Structure 1
Amino acid sequence: MSTNEFANSVILITGGTGSLGKKFIEHALEHLGPSTIIVYSRDELKQFELREYFNRDPRIRWVIGDIRDRERLSSAMHGVDFVVHAAALKQVDTAEVNAYEYVRTNVTGSQNVIDAAVAAKVRKVVALSTDKASSPVNLYGASKLCADKLFTSANMDPHNQHTKFSVVRYGNVLGSRGSVVPLFRRLAAEGKPLPITDKRMTRFWITLDQAVDFIVNAFVHMQGSELFVPRIPSMRVVDLVEAIAPGAITHEVGLRPGEKLHEEMISEVDAVRTYKRGDRYIMLPQSGRLDEDMPMVGRLPDGFNYRSDTNDQWLSVAEIQELIA
C-alpha cells in the first residue's frame, strides 16, 4: 500500500477530538486526500470546537458516539476504509480507583471497534497503544495491553476475511492534552516551585507530527498483527524542567499510584519476537512459530529490552527547548 491508496477513501478516527486526532485530521486533509474523515467521539463541545477550527470543512463528518456502544459504532463504520483507534481512558492514577470504567472503555470498547470493523469489511485498522502497556504495573497499562492483544489476534479470527489489524506503541507525546509542559510553564510564570515526581525519572518523547507520521507509515507497511514501536529519544524530567524554566526551584512529590520511574516499550520477554527495521521495531504476536515468522535480519540480541533509562538516544536541554518553543 502507498499513501496514494488513501485518496478518495473514508477514514474513521475514534476519540478524534484529542490532540492526536486534531493533528491527524490536519495531516490527512493536507497530504492523504480522503473523500471523508469521520470523527467519532462522545464530547459534543470538543466536536463543536474542532468543527469551528476546521471551518466546517465538508470533508469531515462528526459523529457523537461512545466506543462502548457497539450498535452506534457499527452504524458509523459503514463504508469506512481505514480506522485509527485513538479513543481511550488514559489517566494512570484515575484508573486505579475507577478500574472497571477503564476496562469497559479500553478493553470492551476495543473489542467493539474490532467487531464493527470486521462487520463493515474495513480494509485496515491501526490502534494506538502506550509504553505503559509493556510490563504494566498499573490498571491503565494492563487495559491497554489487553487491547493490544485483542487487535493483534483479530487477524486470526476465522470470521475475518477482509480486515487487517495492527498496533502502534509510543511514549509521551509533546504538545498533547494533559502534557506536563503547560503546567510547568504556568507555575514558572507564577514564580512557584515546579513539582517533580522523582529527579531520576526518564520518559520516551515523541512530537505530535512524528506520532502522526508513524501511524500513517504503519498503514502503509502493515501486513496484520504487527505491533510497531518507533525508535525515539528519551529525556530526563530534570532536563525538561531546565528547558522550560532554567534555574527554577523544584520539589519532589513522589510516584503517583501506578506510576513507573522509567518507562518501557519492549520487554525482554517480548524482544525475542521483535526485530529492528530502520527507525522502528516490529513486534510479532505470541501466536505462530519464531523459526517460520521471524526474519533473521534485524533480530534483537538476547536480553534486549527498550527502556527510557537505557535508551541509546537522548534529548539535551537545548533540543528540548527547541521542541517546546
Structure 2
Amino acid sequence: MLNGKKVLITGGTGSFGKKFIKMILADYPEVERIVIYSRDELKQFEMKQNYPHSEYPQLRFFIGDVRDKARLTRACEGIDVIIHAAAIKQVDTAEYNPTECIRTNVDGAENVIDAALTCGVKDVVALSTDKACAPINLYGATKLASDKLFSAANNIKGSKDIKFSVVRYGNVMGSRGSVIPFFMNKKEEGILPITHDEMTRFNISLEDGVRLVFFAIENALGGEIFVPKIPSYKILDVAKAVAPDCEIKIVGVRPGEKLHEEMITESDSLNTIEMEKYYAILPSVSFVHKREKFLEHHNAKLVPFGFKYNSGENTEWETVDTLREKIKTYVDPNFEA
C-alpha cells in the first residue's frame, strides 16, 4: 500500500507521529520517502538521533507550521499521502488561547487541504478526536470544524485523483498528557486527583490508532469519518490499576470536560454505517458518492435508528487486570502496581 510512496505527516514529532513512523518503516520497508513536518526543532533533533540518515535515508525532517500555507505547500511537492496529525489539543490551553487554537486546528486544516489539491496528493487522512463529537469545549469545536472541512474537501477536488478522510478515536493509552502517565507520575505522592468518580473514557493504543489510519488510506472512498470499536474504562479503575494503595481525591470536573465521551451521536447515526471493526460517519453532503456506494464498497450496513456510541454506554469494558496488562504492553514494560 505505501511501498514506493512518498508520505508526509504533519505534527510528526508527537506521540502518534513517532509510532506511525516506527510502524510504517516496519510494515512498508520500501516506502520511498517520509517527511516529518513540524515546528519544534528540538523534537526533530531528538528524533533524528533514533533515525540516522545513513540507516534511514528515506526520512526527511522539514521545519514548518501548518499555519504557513506557502511553507506547507513546498513540503507537499511530490507527496502521495498526507497524514494530518498537527493540532493544539490541550483543552485548557485552547480555552485560554482560543485564537491560537483556531489558527492551528481550523486554518491549518484548510491549508493542508489547499496544499494537497495544489500538489497532486492522492490520499489525505486527518486525525480527529472524540471531543469533536457534540463538542462542549473549543478544542472539540475546532476539531469538528476540521472534520467537516476534510469531509467536504472531496466535493471541491474536481477532476483531481484525490480522496480526503478522517479517523476519530478516544484517549490514546500512554500518549503525552493522558491520564495513565499522569497517574504514574502522581503515584509517589500517595494521592491521585480524580475529577469525578463516575467518569469514563474510550481506550485505544497508539498501534491501533496507526492501524486505523492504514485502514483509511487503503479503504476510504472519500469523506468518511472512521470510528473504531474500542473498549471503555472507568477512571476509578485506571487509578486502581496504576496505584491501588493511593488515596483518591475528587477534585471536580474541569471546564469543558464531559463525564462520558462520545464518538457518534444519535443525530450522526442517520449517516453512520457499521463494518466488522469500525463505524464510518458518512458525509452529510456528498456530490461524489451516494450512500449505496459506501455501503457496497465497505460491505457495511446502516446502524439502527437512534444509535449512539459513547464511553458510558459501551458494551466492551477494560478491567483493572486488562488495564495493567495493557500498561505493561503499551506504556511501560517494567510497570508494577
TM-score between the two structures when normalised by the length of structure 2: 0.92
1:213-255 CA deviation, whole Å, 9 max, x = no partner?
1111111101111110000000000000000011321101111
The residue aligned with 1:16 is 12
Once the two structures are superposed, residues 246-280 of structure 1 have per-residue CA deviations (whole angstroms, 9 ceiling, x without a partner) of: 13211011111111111000010011100110000
Pairing partner for 1:314 from 272, 292, 317: 317
- Show the counterpart of 2:69: 70
- Which residue does the alignment assign to 1:39? 36
Query: Quick one: structure 1 residues 24 and 131, their matched pair in 2 at CA, closer, same or farther if it must change by over 3 Å?
Result: same
1:1-325 equivalent positions in 2, closer than 5 A: 3=1, 6-32=2-28, 33-56=30-53, 57-159=56-158, 161-188=160-187, 190-288=188-286, 292=292, 295=295, 298-325=301-328
Q: Which runs of 5+ in 2 are unaligned?
A: 329-337
Q: Give the superposition deviation at 1:74.
A: 0.3
Evaluate the alpha carbon distance shift between residue 261 and residue 160 of structure 1 in structure 2; reply closer, same or farther with a 3 A threshold.
Answer: farther
| DSSP 3-state at the match of 1:11 | strand
Q: Distance in 1 between matches of 2:159 and 2:251?
A: 48
Evaluate the alpha carbon distance shift between residue 54 and residue 254 of structure 1 in structure 2; reply closer, same or farther with a 3 A threshold: same
Residue correspondences, number: 320
- SS of residue paired to 2:273: strand
Q: Cα distance 1:8–1:307, how it changes in 2: closer, same or farther (>3 A)? A: same
RMSD in angstroms over aligned alpha carbons? 1.5
Give me the whole-angstrom Cα distance separating, in 1, the residues matched to 2:268 and 2:200: 21
In 2, Cα distance between equivalents of 1:223 and 1:300: 19
Distance in 2 (CA, whole Å) between partners of 1:160 and 1:254 is 52
Q: For residue 294 of structure 1, report the CA deviation from its aligned partner.
A: 6.0
User: Which amino acid is 2:160 matched to?
Assistant: Q
After the TM superposition, list the runs of 4 or more consecutive aligned residues in structure 1 that deviate by more than 3 angstroms.
Answer: 288-297
CA offset digits 1:89-147 (Å, max 9, x no partner): 00111111211111100000000000000000100000000000000000000000000
What is the SS of the residue equivalent to 2:253? coil
Q: Check 1:290–1:255 CA distance in 2 against 1; reply closer, same or farther (3 A cut).
A: farther
How has the CA–CA distance of structure 1 residues 293 and 9 changed in structure 2, closer, same or farther, with 3 Å as cutoff?
closer
Counterpart in 1 of 2:335?
none
* TM-aligned CA distance change 1:251 to 1:290, over 3 Å: farther
Alpha-carbon shift at residue 290 of structure 1 (Å): 7.2
Q: Is the 8 A contact 1:273 1:294 kept in 2?
A: no
Q: Is the Cα–Cα contact under 8 Å of residues 227 and 283 in structure 1 kept in the other structure?
A: yes
Distance change >3 Å, CA 294–CA 164, structure 1 → 2: closer
Given that 2:117 and 2:157 are in contact with CA atoms closer than 8 Å, whether structure 1 keeps it comes out as no
**Distance in 1 separating the partners of 2:90 and 2:22:** 26
Q: Distance in 2 between matches of 1:261 and 1:250?
A: 17
How far the C-alpha of 1:30 sits from its partner, in A, is 1.1
The CA deviation string for residues 61-95 of structure 1, in whole angstroms up to 9 with x for no partner, is 00000000000000000000001000000011111
The 2-side partners of 1:24 and 1:270 are apart by 29
Contact residue 221 and residue 294 of structure 2 kept, 8 A: no
What is the rounded CA distance, in whole Å, between the counterparts of 1:320 and 1:130 in structure 2? 21
Does the C-alpha gap of structure 1 residues 195 and 160 become closer, same or farther in structure 2, counting only changes over 3 Å? Answer: farther
- Report the alpha carbon displacement of residue 160 of structure 1 after superposing the two structures with TM: 5.8
TM-score by length of 1: 0.95
